[in-house]
Amino acid sequence: MNLHEYQGKELFAKFGLPVSNNAVVTSPDDVLSACRDIGGDKWVVKAQVHAGGRGKAGGVKLVDTPEEAIEFANHWLGNRLVTYQTDSNGQLVSSILVEECTDIAKELYLSAVIDRGTQRIVFIGSSEGGVNIEEVAEKTPEKIIYEPIDPLTGPMGFQARKISKVLGLDNEQSKQFSKMLSQLTKLFISYDLSLLEINPLVITQGGKLHCLDAKINIDSNAIYRQPEIQAMRDLSQEDPREAEAAKSDLSYVSLDGNIGCMVNGAGLAMGTMDTIKYFGGSPANFLDVGGTATQERVSKAFKLILADPEVKVVLVNIFGGIVRCDLIAEGILAAIEEVGVSIPVVVRLEGNNADIGSDILAKSNAAIESLNNLEEASKKAVELSK
């Protein structure tokens, strides 16, 4: 799960990390008082969406008057922002962050992730900030430092000094950084983060470190124990079908093809998508219906798949392990009747009692092609999708 920048900065402020004076507005009417409360004669207004690349897309602006800020709010609130990280529909802007303007001397980069290789929280720092870090890693790897944190000790002073050196900090800044590193680690662990990124972390004209951006992702597996984070969830930023699927405890990702896929198991679901592509078709979605594939779950899965108007045929691929295929077949038939599926359905059942299951499907009146072999089933689905 992702947070908005303003939510990330709330958490930063709570942990004593330096962020700009700011206010969040959801209506142009509130912009003037926000500017006055913040003070000064220059402000930065930033559209709040769950996507990077906002600056280049016009979603961030430096303004000299409250009127300009109001104009920005009028333009973006209720509109959709398209960046290189969003799809062509973009993301809905329902709030705007108004901040005091910071005088920047230098832009740096800092992030923390759970690194799968070292199996540690790793901090990544670079003297090149405000740019795409993957490009820096590729072109000038010497400007990046990766510092893993031992879960037993937490971040040590020497590690802060190592990172400071790569960031090019002076003595005073290095001391400030050491405190930041410790606070960021506490924040990371307290809220079960999977990613924390400050791009850019800046040195102000006054020589202080300052967090100009805040990108935070939270480990989905840990949301259950993070009530504060649950309250920050913004469903308008998520794909509606994916959000609906999550409510039913199904894993669903929408894609741009026309063959709907319903599979048990995440790996096999990916494998089925690959197989469709291999035979010249195009999958409309990833969907893991789960190990048990009960009628209830299959019904929900059909509803999700059929909500996509592009879908011309549904390929159901179930490897019945512990659950018998004849029971799964009955569940599929009941679900098709319940949901009222009117497009062709190709079913491949394999495993325990697969023959009996296929027989049940073949004898039904529903428009089902039942094939035990995944190759034939995939080819059939591709043929029906053309």
Partner 1 sequence: MSILVDKKTRLLVQGFTGSQATLHSEQSIEYGTNIVGGVTPGKGGQKHLDIPVFNSVHEAVEEVEPNASIIFVPAQFCKDSILEAADAGIKLIICITEGIPTLDMLIVKKKVDELDVTLIGPNCPGIITPGEAKLGIMPGSIHMKGSVGIISRSGTLTYEAVKQTSDLGLGQSTCIGIGGDPIPGTSFIDVLKMLEADDQTKAIVMVGEIGGTAEEEAAEYIKDNVSKPVISYIAGQTAPAGKRMGHAGAIIAGGKGTAADKIKKLKECGVHIAENLLQIGTKTKEVLG
Please, what is the minimum distance in Å from the beta carbon of residue 260 to partner 1? 14
Given candidates 40, 78, 280, 321, which one binds partner 1 under the rule CB under 8 A?
Answer: 321
Identify the three-state secondary structure at position 4.
Answer: coil
**8 A C-beta contact, residue 162 and residue 145:** yes
For residue 62, count other CB atoms closer than 10 A to its CB. 10
Q: Which is nearer to partner 1, 131 or 266 (CB)?
A: 266
Strands 193-204 and 104-115: antiparallel
State the Cα angle at 17 between 13 and 18, rounded to 5°.
Answer: 95
| Cβ partners under 8 Å of residue 238, min gap 6 | 50
Please, what is the minimum distance in Å from the beta carbon of residue 256 to partner 1? 9
Cα–Cα distances (Å) from 336 to 35, 89, 242, in that order, read: 57, 32, 21
User: Which among 5, 99, 147, 197 is annotated as catalytic?
Assistant: 197
The DSSP annotation for 83-97 comes to -TTS-TT-EE---EE
Give phi and psi for 319, each to the nearest 5: -100, 95
CA distance 188 to 183: 9
Which DSSP helix (H) or strand (E) runs through 93? none
x/- letters, 342..361, toward partner 1 (CB under 8 A): --------xxx---------
CA distance 123 to 181: 9
Q: Which is nearer to partner 1, 23 or 269 (CB)?
A: 269
Q: Which is nearer to partner 1, 158 or 279 (CB)?
A: 279
**Residue 252 catalytic?**
no
Which amino acid is located at 374 in the chain? L
Given candidates 121, 211, 314, 332, which one binds partner 1 under the rule CB under 8 A?
Answer: 121
221 binds partner 1 (CB under 8 A): yes
Positions 144 through 163 that interact with partner 1 (CB under 8 A): 151-152
Given candidates 286, 304, 361, 369, which one binds partner 1 under the rule CB under 8 A?
Answer: 286
Q: Which is nearer to partner 1, 76 or 191 (CB)?
A: 191
240 binds partner 1 (CB under 8 A): no
Q: Which is nearer to partner 1, 54 or 210 (CB)?
A: 54
Q: Residue 272: name the closest of 264, 210, 53 by CA.
A: 264
Count of residues that interact with partner 1, criterion CB under 8 A: 50
**Residue 84 catalytic?**
no
Which amino acid is located at 343 in the chain? I
277 binds partner 1 (CB under 8 A): yes
Residues that bind partner 1 (CB under 8 A): 85, 114, 116-117, 119-121, 134, 151-152, 189, 192, 194, 219-222, 224-225, 251, 253, 255, 263-271, 273-278, 283, 286, 288, 291, 319-322, 350-352, 374-375
Give the residue numbers marked as catalytic: 109, 197
